[in-house]
Structure 1
């Protein structure tokens, strides 16, 4: 899987374009609409994705695009740009800078480049297969976690789990030191920088997780689904991110009880 400096530069230009579209609306008056899946959307979500699509149309017109707000545009290269203009729209609506723009380049079904960009705090994590993750241009590293009982676990909301998923999460909750709620994609960014140990979520779509994989793994962490398998375009949306890969088997074992 070949990643070029030009690919990474385009991904960063997409983040710049999205941030320029988002910032004027942060903590400003705007209408909120509810989509069919009961999730909110704002003018900032749509403006940011439109800005990124316009840049891709100019710079990579043969690549595919999959965006949260405007669907999928087929390409002819085996490469697909996966865009989530504002991951954490509820935080954005509440004036909380804990949302992020997610940009991924997926090649033949595998996440190859990922960006988590927080345009208000001007924090950016850039990951690419075979390269170290950078946070604002400097290497980011996950932290060691000697025992699962020492781990700090995060999830956006337990309300997003179904009954069996919640059962599994509660068993993991009981095995760790403490739990942080909320955060959306920002949890994965702080895990990549060594401030969290584990993030567990379910019900994610490709645009929610594709960008996270290169960021976390390029910082020394590991991402997989709840069965321990790698995350690809065919994954079911159950996601585990671990800062210290040595803890993966213990996490999977703790969560294996669902349905029992």
Structure 2
């Protein structure tokens, strides 16, 4: 197995530099543009991605980069994937739950991931064969095996309620504790053992691939709604769970006729 330890340390350091860029715009009334998919983007998104790209090109000049704001540069089997501000709507609203995602893929498979929460001062990192950490301390998922006992996050609930009303109806009656949320932080809480599961919807590869590397390094599972491994062409519907039994129960709930 390749030694990804030095790469992960470098990735954490690069996101630390980029976090200061994002925070320099936070709660300062950022200029907002609306993209073709009707999602917002700010100067902060673009400046933060440029920071990460500059660092990646300095340290890994031969490797491809794919980012939310500037697309793909370079080719090859190794690629870095960036979401500079995961949760732009939270960022615009002054909510400190926006994140920053950086992942490393080999032949499309996530090998390393960093979830940084700039306004919270938290960074989650993990990789294949490395385990996962929060601010340098080892973390691991919970041992929850039953949905009735689970601390469940339902992400993008407004979209789910419209597009998948039957699924949404089942989810809001599930779990011991339910929270509506969005973006990467609930998945990080599963990796940390503070939450047990997240059902998510309408994601892009830069939203879920870096996150999946951290969740799986912490001992959890993150797949699509059919239980398939996540890849660049996944449909954007994901389920994160602490244990295989809990994951299987969620898949059953999501796929009932």
**TM-score (normalised: structure 1):** 0.93
> Per the alignment, in what secondary structure is the counterpart of residue 37 of structure 1?
coil
Asked if structure 1 preserves the Cα contact closer than 8 Å seen for 2:4 and 2:127, the reply is: no
Deviation at 1:162, TM superposition (A): 7.3
Deviation at 1:163, TM superposition (A): 5.3
Structure 1 gap segments, 5+ residues each? none
| 1:1-150 to 2 correspondences below 5 Å | 2-76=2-76, 78-150=77-149
Q: Which deviations, in whole Å up to 9, do the C-alpha atoms of 1:36-88 show, x marking residues without a partner?
A: 11111111111000011111111111111110001111323x11100000001
Match of 1:218 in 2: 217
Q: Which deviations, in whole Å up to 9, do the C-alpha atoms of 1:19-47 show, x marking residues without a partner?
A: 02111111113211111111111111110
| 1:132-171 to 2 correspondences below 5 Å | 132-161=131-160, 165-171=164-170
Asked if structure 2 preserves the Cα contact closer than 8 Å seen for 1:155 and 1:184, the reply is: no
Q: Residues of 2 paired with 1:114 and 1:41: CA distance?
A: 23
Asked if structure 2 preserves the Cα contact closer than 8 Å seen for 1:198 and 1:242, the reply is: yes
Deviation at 1:146, TM superposition (A): 4.0
Q: Which deviations, in whole Å up to 9, do the C-alpha atoms of 1:205-241 show, x marking residues without a partner?
A: 1000011111111112111110011112221111000
> Per the alignment, in what secondary structure is the counterpart of residue 97 of structure 1?
coil
Change beyond 3 A, Cα 1:162–1:53? same
Deviation at 1:182, TM superposition (A): 1.8
Match of 1:244 in 2: 243
Q: Residues of 1 paired with 2:50 and 2:154: CA distance?
A: 29
- Aligned residue pair count: 257
Q: Residues of 2 paired with 1:155 and 1:148: CA distance?
A: 13
Q: Residues of 1 paired with 2:187 and 2:3: CA distance?
A: 22
Q: Residues of 2 paired with 1:39 and 1:115: CA distance?
A: 23
Deviation at 1:4, TM superposition (A): 2.6
Identify which range, 146-155 or 55-64, moves more after superposition.
146-155
Deviation at 1:165, TM superposition (A): 3.2
Would you identify which runs of 4 or more consecutive aligned residues in structure 1 move more than 6 Å? none
> Per the alignment, in what secondary structure is the counterpart of residue 161 of structure 1?
helix
Change beyond 3 A, Cα 1:4–1:145? closer
Aligned-residue CA RMSD (Å) = 1.6
**TM-score (normalised: structure 2):** 0.94
> Per the alignment, in what secondary structure is the counterpart of residue 174 of structure 1?
coil
Deviation at 1:155, TM superposition (A): 2.4
Q: Residues of 2 paired with 1:211 and 1:230: CA distance?
A: 13
Q: Residues of 2 paired with 1:211 and 1:3: CA distance?
A: 18
| 1:167-178 to 2 correspondences below 5 Å | 167-178=166-177
Identify which range, 226-235 or 83-92, moves more after superposition.
226-235
